[in-house]
Amino acid sequence: MKLTIIGTGYVGLVTGTCFAEVGHQVICVDNNTDKVKLLQGGGIPIYEPGLEDLVKKNVAAGQLRFSASTAEGVENSDVVFIAVPTPPLPDGSVDLSFIESVAREIAGAMTSYKIVVDKSTVPVKTGDKVAETIKRYGKSKVEFDVVSNPEFLREGFAVEDLMKPDRVVVGVRTQRPVPAMRALYAPFHAPIIVTDINSAELIKHAANSFLALKISYINAVSVICEASGANVQEVANGMGMDARIGRRFLDAGIGFGGSCFPKDLSAFIKISEQLGYDFALLKEVQRINAGQMDRFVKKITDTLWVLKDKNIGVLGLAFKQNTDDVRLSPAIDLCQRLLKEGAVLRAHDPKAMDKAREVLKNATYVEDMNDVAAGCDALVMANEWRIFKKLDLERARRLLTHPILFDSRNLFDAREMEEMGFIYKSVGR
């Protein structure tokens, strides 16, 4: 099939590349000409495991190309995906101006029937607005269908998630586009759930909010574990073996971040308010999430006392492992709080240092994780990259002025750390 993906961020670029990989002809469109030139030249603007090789492979095979022209993409495709940003507004609602702008561009470029697929995460009833916009601004008055096809990609595992999806949700206003959407996703061999368009839009917000709730639940349990002398990891393992619950998203830490969960949670609360329901449960999820960071910072200040002029090493800057994304990163938030108190930071992340430099200017960046502890009063594990488990702990202990380690992701065994001579502080243990 001939596809156009408008937007080449984490969702759009991965989606377009994976569709090309299974045999579709794909044009990825972006209005950022510098990004398009980068992609046309063989570079990619984000780090996502496995993505760069797939982009190069499919560009070379002629399955994937890049353009700055929406009109070119619409003209040369049967299905047009909208995968542009939907950033949060100060009141928690979503900025839909990019969606509206793209819908108008599509309308102006259509000369034959198209299926317009909303891949961006949007509030319920956005599909109706997109359809209304295309109808209003369409020059040729041709027929079209609007489909909601929410993404369920985890940054760091996005290629895997798209190539082997748990399910594909297709929300439609009529049955006309259903056969094409089934054919589009047939190579992925995944269950396809066809719903009305409003239900499809709600599924994404409901799913992400539930996962955020699950994280906040185990973080609340971690507070009880610390107060009672229990181990949150053992509690989570015992809970997770219940098939009704599952172990995923039951890792205590300093709270969830990134570009999805905080935004989608706020948006779902706002959507609910607009529909006449006070979703107080999700407001409590937000409160617990914020409190978890406060508690971890308090551990650091209680141990080090005065942070002014203290040298602190930080391992991890991305919002989680396997990505270079620092948007709403808890690790960056933690660093900013430490800097505000006058601390001096030495930091390392396997992939995110270039992007971290743009938002965290007053830190020293260290290329080797095993050098971060040099001359520091304490070391902080701020995210969960697997490579951090291979940290040379004996060397870190020798390099530290004081053998103090704060572990926000419970990467190490508490007893072993104490036996090595560390003052070791983790979460819920």
Active site residues: 260
Measured between alpha carbons, how far is 3 from 63 in angstroms, rounded to an integer? 10
DSSP secondary structure letters along 235-300: HHHHHHTSTTT-STT---SS---TTTHHHHHHHHHHHHHHTT---HHHHHHHHHHHHHHHHHHHHH
The SS3 call for residue 326 is coil
Q: Is the distance from CB of 347 to CB of 317 less than 8 angstroms?
A: yes
Write out the H or E segment, with its range, that includes residue 208: helix 197-228
- Residue for token pair 């910072």: 297
Q: Is the distance from CB of 80 to CB of 74 less than 8 angstroms?
A: yes
DSSP-assigned beta bridge partners for residue 168 = 192
Q: How far is CA 214 from CA 151, 239, 245, 281, 329, in A?
A: 20, 12, 10, 12, 19
